[in-house]
Chains A and B, each alone.
Chain A
């Protein structure tokens, strides 16, 4: 079941497109969906449209099978905005109490779940201190707690680990994993590509308001048929013989990059090396990281493949 779905979504700020054509995404229940893009790419605008904070210009957006942004839908959604400013007059506890009460959580339940939630994000000891005295990391943890407190079906997290130390980041990643196990859907905006690669099931990349890539992390980072081979020192790679097998060979320093066509395997090359009495020291199927993909497409000028190859070569 699609929990989030957008079709041909556009957002026009008086002639300036924050989201422009083809923003079609589908997020299934229980997925962690990552949205990537440079600053100003339209990530936050997309989230805000889904939450009803910003109005779409054209297109369709549904959340939990209802038009995005309605009050009924917002009841089932949690949100941690980027650069949030919690009212400084609240304590951590009172902010969660306010938040949960707005979602209609009964008082007795609030008394039980608020300390639990603060404990989960690791700031229970400061629950009765005024937020204005919290560090950035503590505020971020509190923000996550308020987004999760009412047990929403979908959670939108905009830069959830911003300002959080590495230990905290790991805890947040683990928390997201547990939420996923509970079949809660997470929509994650993040600049931390390694983090996204680690935890997201699917990823979309926006560039200047346009959706330029969308798929699973495996799909996006897979680069079919590029292998890296190195032989024992002093041995010469049988370049000509390899070409005779119909494969493309390129020398990069003391390693060789071999590109094979779809449907073909690297096995004949390995057998040939063995038959020639050469010693294989290194063989790996070359993959690109999500960062490579992002750098190639998010900053690109439309020539994604070329950028990606350049990124791959650089590695």
Chain B
């Protein structure tokens, strides 16, 4: 009952500050923004035209290659399929130059797709998902023009998520620079927009809002009112901590679930792994809030609590980041040695990042001993990837490297939380008034 009472008190405190309402509104707008993103499947014609638009622009700036222009003509779906990934295609790719000589110059200069022998590999590489691609050059009807007839039968794509899509933002504004498979687009939104930017904002604002909880409790004239109640001081402090944590949990859950629903409804991708962000971000916040609580008990200042928590955040992240860099460099070095075999030069014992060996050891130690904020970040990226991407795509993005176990990441972090809160409780118990 006391826990519930203190939590309710913390809730009142959080809600009373306009920041909480502002935060909920911002989170709501963020969800709305994600919901405003729609994903339109690109037809093969769209994809080709996008590609040739770029190529044509590039070529128009290079007059020495014969001023060629590529166009797509006579595009049709020959099997009546309604979904682009189920279609058989027939289309012409037409290369037009001002005259015969210009065409000859273009083809001679090796512009990709200007000859059958370069067009076919380009199709195989870029449009790898098209099956039975047949390309033939048709007899030229006009001087300075060449026409390629392309026919395909089916695709290797079996579901919409693997087909190229183009997003539109704000309910209709095209964002062609972000084209990709639906999976990769959803991953980009979940990872970059939500996990990175959203997570950063949630943690930052969470730290700021909750930093005042303990200093307010310790304020002269207020503290007596609390500690005279039949509750232990440590119990009171821990309950206040849980209150702050609950605030972060509610806000994170609201945002993550809202985004999950928005993506699910708009993209049809319902990846439950994305919901792992709720416990991961809350766990990260729990670490920072424990730092903030200790600083607040020691100084009674919300400002100091915020600064110390942010410094700690930077410290944990830096240690994790540098450690990751060192590990990657070492792994690369190992691969290189394996490739070189007996010809590989002997290991010189130097540091991977050009740092002194002792510094590298210290970074390793710090990354292992400090709260695992970086690992939690990485774990959240992995969780998102596993919910959206295929194993092959995960590997391509280097998201399959070995990570410390969940038990280790959570265990070390929980250990730190217990230590920080333990110190805060000890100080709170020992102080007069």
Q: Which residues from chain A sit less than 8 Å from chain B, CB to CB?
A: 13, 48, 51-55, 71-72, 74-75, 77, 79, 81, 83-90, 94, 98-99, 101-104, 146
Contact = CB atoms under 8 A, between A and B. Distances in A.
Interface stretch (B137-145, B218-226, B316-324, B368-376): B218-226
A77 B228 contact: yes
Contacts of B221: 81, 83-85
B229 interface: yes
B220 A53 contact: no
A24 to B, nearest CB: 22
A86 B224 CA distance: 10
Interface stretch (B7-15, B185-193, B404-412): B7-15
B13 A87 contact: yes
B432 A81 contact: no
A85 B222 CA distance: 5
B230 A75 contact: yes
B230 A74 contact: yes
The 8 closest A-B CB pairs, nearest first, are: A89-B16, A85-B221, A75-B230, A102-B229, A101-B5, A81-B224, A74-B230, A54-B432
Given A53-B224, A89-B12, A99 B229 contact: yes
11 contacts: A48-B432, A53-B224, A79-B228, A81-B225, A83-B220, A84-B221, A86-B222, A87-B12, A87-B13, A87-B222, A102-B231
B232 interface: yes
B110 interface: no
Contacts of A75: 230
Contacts of B36: none
Interface of B: 1-2, 4-5, 8-9, 12-13, 15-17, 216, 219-225, 227-232, 432-433
Given A86-B222, A87-B216, A98-B8, A74 B229 contact: yes
A51 B17 CA distance: 32
Contacts of A104: 1, 230
Contacts of B222: 84-87
B230 A90 contact: no
Given A55-B432, A87-B216, A90-B12, A103 B229 contact: yes
A62 B224 CA distance: 19
Contacts of A51: 224, 228
Given A98-B5, A101-B1, A102-B5, A79 B12 contact: no
Nearest to B219: A85
B307 to A, nearest CB: 24
Q: Which of A53, A71, A77 has the most CB of B within 10 A?
A: A53
Given A87-B13, A98-B9, 16 more contacts: A52-B227, A52-B228, A71-B230, A74-B230, A84-B222, A85-B222, A86-B225, A87-B12, A87-B216, A88-B16, A89-B12, A101-B1, A101-B2, A101-B5, A102-B229, A146-B225
A79 B224 contact: yes
Nearest to B15: A89
Nearest to B227: A53
Contacts of B229: 74, 99, 102-103
A9 B210 CA distance: 39
Contacts of A102: 2, 5, 229-231
